[in-house]
Structure 1
C-alpha cells in the first residue's frame, strides 16, 4: 500500500501529496507494520486498557479491604483510611472498584471472543461458499441481526435460577455476532476473486489453506474492530444489568456499586464518592476502547492512515488536515519567462 508524504511548495504555496511506496529495494516494511503502534489514539487506548487489565489480574491481592466487609465508618468521605470513602454499611469503595474490575473485563472479553468467533465462522464461510450456503447463512444472520439483545438478556436472566456474569457473556456472544458476520461476508466476497486467491487456487492449494492463509490475514483488522466493538457493548450491557438489579448484587462490578448508590440515594445525600469513581472507570474504559477502534480505523483506511501519519507535519506548517478528502497530486504551473522577476 503506497504511503503519502505531504510536502509544501514554498514558492507557489501548493500542497503536494507525494506517494512513497514501502516496497523500495532494500527497505524493510517495518514502517507499515509499526504504523498502528505509532498512532497516538491507539497508544492512549492501549495504555488505559492495559492498566485495567493489570488491575483485574492483581486486584483481589492489592485491595486494601474485603469489599463486602462492613465497618463502623458509615458513609464516610475519602480519607487516609478509605481513599474513596465508604458506603452506607461502611464498606470500602476503592476495594469494590478494584475487585469489580475483573468481573467487568472477564465478561466483556468472553462475550467479545464468542461473538467474534461465531461471526468469523459464519461470515467467512458464507462469503467463500456462495450459492445456497451463502443464502442460508445470510438469512440466519439477518434473523439474529434483528433480535433485541438487551431485552433478550433480561428475559434469559430472569428465567434462570442463578444468573452470573458468564451467562450474560454467553448470551451476548450468541446474539451479538450477526453484524460482524455481515461485514466479513462482504469482504470475503470481494477477496475470493482477487488475483492472489485465484493464483493459489490454480496452484492446487486446498480450501482450508485458501481461507486461513490467503483470506483470513486480510480480515485481521476487521476482526479486531468487531472484537473491540463487542467488548464495548458487553461492558455497557453488564453495567446496565447490574444497575437495574438483574444480576446478583453480591458479585461486585462497577454496575453493582452504582446499584447500591442509587438505591440508597447517594446523590441526594451528597455522597459523591459513592458513584463518581465507578462512573469515571466506566468512562475511561469506554474511551480506551473507542481510541483503539479509532486507531484500527485509521490503520485500515488509507485516507485516514496517510492523514494521521503526517498530521504533525501538517500542523507544523499551519495546515489543518481534513479527513474524508482524497489527497490529490498537484503540480505548480510553469511560469513564463516574462512573468519571472
Structure 2
C-alpha cells in the first residue's frame, strides 16, 4: 500500500492561515470588502444613482442631531406678512420674504440683536420682493420649477439621516458617490506606481551596471524633492483636472518606494541556485526575471500596493482640497471637505463629519489590514 504524499503548504496558504488567526485583520478585511462592495454597486448605478437630486431643503440638518432645525431660508411666509411687520415674524422669515437670506454667524454674541434690528428695518424701508411667494414655494419644493430636481409637486424634506448640502443633496449618498472617486483613484494610482516601481526595480537589480546607475540617479532625483512639492509640481505641469490626471500625478510620483525594495530583492535573488539552474537550462533573461524571480518577491509588491492605496486616498483628498483634484461636477471626499470649510462658518458641520468619518474608517481598516498582511507574509514572524 502506497503512502499518500505529504505536500508542505506554500507561501500564500501559510500567509492566509496567519491572517485568518488575527481577529483585527479579519475585521479590517470585512470593513474594506464592505466598502468595495458598496462602491462597486455605486459605480454600476445600482445604489445612490440619484445622489444629485435636490430632495431636501438647503442645509437640511441630520435627523439624529439634537437641537437641529431646518434653515430659515425655507420659511414660506408671504411678503404681505413681512411688510405688515407682524410681531411674531422672525428676522429670517422677513429676510426670506424680501428675497434675501441672512446667514448669521452662530458664534456671534450679537446675532440675536442684529436679527431683531433686521426684522424691524425691512418693513420700515418697504423692502418688498414681488417674487417672494414664488421663491418661497421653490424653496419648499412645491413650485412649478421644483419638478426638475425633487419631482413636481413633491415637498422637500426638512431633515435627512446625515443632512443635506447647500443644494439639498443627500449627504449620505454624496459620501458614497465621493468614496467611489477617491477609492478608484487610490487603487488605480497604486497599481500604476507599483507596476512602474516593480519594472524599474527589476531592471536595475537584475542587470546592474549602467542600467542600475541610471535608474538610481532617477530615483535620487525623485526622492530629493519632498513628495508634496513633487505632486504639486506635476499637477501644475499637467494643468488639467480630472480623475485620470490625479492617477497620473500620484502614479508617476509614488513609484520610488516599490522601486527601492524590489531592486534590493532582485539583487539578492539573481545569484541564487534556482536562478542559476534556470540559466543552465536555457531560460531567457526576461523569463528568469518575471517567471522565476518575481513570484518569490511578489509579496513585497503586494504589501507596497496596500500601503500606497492608503497614502493615495489621503493624497487625493489633499489635492482636491487644494483645488488640484477632481473637476467641477465630480464629487469626491476631497471636494466635500473643500465645500465644508465654508459651511463651518454657518454652523453646517454634517458634510465635513460624513466625509471625514468615511475616510477615517476606510483608511484605518486598510492600515490595519496592511500591517497584518506584512506580518503574515514575513516568514520570520512567529504566530
Normalising by structure 2, we get a TM-score of 0.67
Instruction: Return closer, same or farther for 1:49/1:206 CA change in 2, 3 Å cut-off.
Output: same
Structure showing the higher strand proportion among its residues: 1
Which of 57, 60, 67 in structure 2 is aligned with 1:73? Answer: 57
Aligned length: 280
Map of 1:71-220 to 2, 5 A cutoff?
A: 73-79=57-63, 82-158=160-236, 160=238, 162-220=240-298
1:85 is paired with a residue whose SS is coil
Which of 295, 309, 323 in structure 1 is aligned with 2:372? Answer: 295
Q: Distance in 1 between matches of 2:199 and 2:214?
A: 14
Q: Is contact 2:223–2:256 with CA below 8 Å preserved after alignment?
A: yes
Q: Distance in 1 between matches of 2:238 and 2:14?
A: 49
Q: Distance in 2 between matches of 1:64 and 1:193?
A: 55
**Which protein has the larger Cα radius of gyration, Structure 1 or Structure 2?**
2
1:62 is paired with a residue whose SS is coil
Question: Which structure 1 residue ranges, 5 or more long, are not aligned?
Answer: 1-23, 310-341
Q: Is contact 2:343–2:349 with CA below 8 Å preserved after alignment?
A: no
CA root-mean-square deviation:
2.3
Please name the residue that 1:330 is paired with.
Answer: none
Question: Which structure 2 residue ranges, 5 or more long, are not aligned?
Answer: 64-156
Q: Is contact 2:178–2:332 with CA below 8 Å preserved after alignment?
A: yes
**Deviation of 1:95 (Å):** 1.5
Normalising by structure 1, we get a TM-score of 0.75
Q: Distance in 1 between matches of 2:223 and 2:232?
A: 18
Which of 254, 257, 260 in structure 1 is aligned with 2:333? Answer: 254
2:17 is paired with a residue whose SS is coil
Q: Is contact 1:126–1:185 with CA below 8 Å preserved after alignment?
A: yes
Cα deviation code 1:289-315 (max 9, x no counterpart)? 2122112211232343x1xx3xxxxxx
